[in-house]
Amino acid sequence: MKLTSFTDFGLRALILLADRKDEVLSAAQIADHFHVSRHHMAKVLQELAAAGYVVATRGAQGGVRLARDPRDIRIGDVVRRLDDQPLVECFGAGSDCALLPRCRLKAMLARAQHGFLRELDRFTLSDCLEKSKSPTPLDI
């Protein structure tokens, strides 16, 4: 699976905010930290605020901060919220794939996607910061 840049930026922003939990950071500061578009980061932060992951403050001293404890933010939930692109075309509404309804690939991919998200549900934002709890890579 490949996450969209929107989701990638959202996860990175949350990790940075968790690491700097006592700070309010602007979209520009976060974007500059990761060398990404300020405009794109602002959109990401708007979505994170709408989802209740961050609290946004307007004004000259404005910015965002985490709205919840990092231990209460599940990575799988964040990915579900931010990554709304269908994995393949036939997952989208109104798909007119010539292989449907006989193709079984859609069900296989749906199960794989569900397993991927279920695995991410095991981890919280806090786990992204704590070295002692970092997930171990799978043997390939």
> In the prediction, which pLDDT does 95 show?
66
What domains sit in the chain, N to C, each tagged with a CATH number? 5-132 (1.10.10.10)
> In the prediction, which pLDDT does 43 show?
97
CA distance 60 to 131: 35
* Mean pLDDT over each residue of the chain, to the nearest integer: 87
Contact indicator for 4, 85 with CB cutoff of 8 Å: yes
Report field, pTM of the whole predicted structure over 0.95: no
Is pLDDT above 50 for 106?
Answer: yes
**pLDDT band for position 18 (cuts 50, 70, 90):** very high
Is pLDDT above 70 for 123?
Answer: yes
Is pLDDT above 70 for 34?
Answer: yes
Closest listed residue to residue 78, CA positions, set 43, 50, 107: 50
> In the prediction, which pLDDT does 140 show?
38
